[in-house]
Amino acid sequence: MYTDLQLYIDGEWLNGAGRKGEEVINPASGKSLGTLPHASKADLDRALAAADKGLAVWRATSAYERGKIMRKAADLVRERVEHIARVMVQEQGKPFAEARIEVVTTADIIDWFAEEGRRAYGRIVPGRAKNIRQLVLQEPVGVVAAFTPWNFPTLTPVRKIAGALAAGCSIIVKASEETPGSCVELVKCFADAGLPQGVLNLVFGVPAEVSEHLIGADSVKKISFTGSVPVGKLLAGLAAKGMKRATMELGGHSPVVVFGDADPEKTADTIAAFKYRNAGQVCISPTRFYVQEGVYDRFLKRFTEFANNVKLGDGLDKDTTMGPLANARRLDAMEAIVNDAKSRGGKIVTGGKRRGNQGYFFEPTVITDVPDDSKIMTEEPFGPVAPIVPFKSFDEVVERANSLPFGLASYAFTTNTQTATMIGDALQSGMVGVNSVAISTPETPFGGIKESGYGSEGGIEGLEAYTNRKFISQG
Ligand code: NAD
């Protein structure tokens, strides 16, 4: 059982009648799950008008009332977790257990923002003259246009939806056309919770056409995008033309630094599990492994054992611990990365090729002996490929880790407190996990620096992203 693929505009579910569309593919089988309708230009204009109307209603609704509706939506997400997770596995490929965690976390994010919306405090600044009262207020930024990718089909939309709604904004979401059903189910929870019509709208279409139309619309005041660096730069440019606020959560290439004093086996177990989550299609996935010489062999051995024990299969099979890649483009990308590594002297310790010819399965892969300027060490792999290389000194590894133009996440493992502090300070990224991979929670800021983008999506910063500051000097 999959789901009805529909658009949601101005409180109405719209099916394919007369609209263009595209097939949604199950990456485990390569077979079609259904046809997704595309929004026409008229549909997009209707969504814009609805969001304008929705904004007027929603910003006038108290944060307390908004929070109540949002918490109800969170409860519905939890009630429907099994169904939503099944939809997600079918269209995205990840194992059911991972999909379930994503859906539960989706509900937690709504709850966090529902509460945080009630704490969008202003402040009173003492005036210079006696009869002046100076107020700093937070106001909703306005209509939001959000664009989300296929790797976390409910988690990426909900960070934007919940942040915007908590701040009193209305929003138009263009979720991924490759994994649309999960977001349809998420939006249903908000609709069924009683969200006023027009406040949340869901559209699909040709990404470049939809984003150009929505970002160019006068009424849209804020853009939020999660996806690749090149598309992020394109959309940031469109936003800049209208001087619109933007949050850009783009790709990375996360280094992992394992110091010689860390337990190599324990570290390998922790980080390998994190590496192969969602088949490596995670923006904060660990992607470059630098291991200090003294523990290199033991770390590599244990990491490889972990990779060999990964059970590749359909995400709905109980035994599966890693599903297929989400689309055929990723298979091509993995093959290009592996071929480049081989041609540069890289050794494939395990994996390195496609598994079977049905669906988009690629083996958990470990590569060694790759130079720092190879594809795998410089381009985000976004797949289950782990390059593991040795290093000698702290300064050397910091330079290598910080050498790329990305800065989303990085990780380090050490038992020395001084090294832990120093590496946390030295790594250039928006998030650093030191002896921890828990860098994404509803309560904490999530976002990158350098070409990985700007703005944060969680924590108090994730609400601020949807508010403007207004200063009132009242005599
Ligand atoms: P892509 O660059 O074609 O697309 C990335 C995302 O942007 C997709 O969701 C796509 O639908 C959307 N998109 C593309 N063009 C757009 C446009 N003009 N307007 C609005 N949205 C647009 O790449 P892809 O093949 O889908 O994914 C591969 C790469 O994307 C990965 O290597 C990874 O770097 C990056 N990616 C990052 C994240 C993340 O969480 N930061 C998620 C998915 C993909």
User: Which of 102, 213, 228 maximizes ligand 1 atoms within 8 Å of its Cβ, making it the mutation to test the pocket?
Assistant: 228
Structure tokens at 410: 């990085």
- The domains of the chain, with CATH numbers, are 7-250+452-474 (3.40.605.10), 254-441 (3.40.309.10)
SS3 291: strand
Closest ligand 1 atom to 251 CA? 41
Quote the Cα angle for 196-202-208, to 5°. 145
Nearest to 93 by CA among 146, 31, 36, 147: 31
* CB count in 10 Å sphere of residue 223: 24
Distance between CA 162 and CA 307 in Å, rounded? 36
Q: How far is the CA of 149 from the centre of ligand 1 (A)?
A: 6
* Residues recognised as catalytic: 249, 283
Residue whose token pair is 């919940």? 162
* Secondary structure element (H or E) that encloses residue 425, with its range: helix 417-426
Q: How far is the CA of 460 from the centre of ligand 1 (A)?
A: 26
Pocket-forming residues, ligand 1, beta carbon under 6 Å:
147, 149-151, 176, 207-208, 211, 226-228, 230-231, 234-235, 249-251, 283, 329, 380, 382
Neighbouring C-alpha atoms within 13 Å toward the C-beta of 430:
29
Phi–psi pair at 458, nearest 5 degrees: -115, 180
Distance between CA 69 and CA 448 in Å, rounded? 31
Distance between CA 450 and CA 378 in Å, rounded? 15
Quote the Cα angle for 234-238-244, to 5°. 130
User: What is the full per-residue pLDDT of the chain (475 aa) written as tens digits?
Assistant: 899 999 999 999 999 889 999 999 999 999 999 999 999 999 999 999 999 999 999 999 999 999 999 999 999 999 999 999 999 999 999 999 999 999 999 999 999 999 999 999 999 999 999 999 999 999 999 999 999 999 999 999 999 999 999 999 999 999 999 999 999 999 999 999 999 999 999 999 999 999 999 999 999 999 999 999 999 999 999 999 999 999 999 999 999 999 999 999 999 999 999 999 999 999 999 999 999 999 999 999 999 999 999 999 999 999 999 999 999 999 999 999 999 999 999 999 999 999 999 999 999 999 999 999 999 999 999 999 999 999 999 999 999 999 999 999 999 999 999 999 999 999 999 999 999 999 999 999 999 999 999 999 999 999 999 999 999 999 9
Q: How far is the CA of 266 from the centre of ligand 1 (A)?
A: 34
Conformational region of residue 142, where left means phi above 0, alpha means psi within -120 to 50, and beta covers everything else: left
Q: How far is the CA of 322 from the centre of ligand 1 (A)?
A: 21
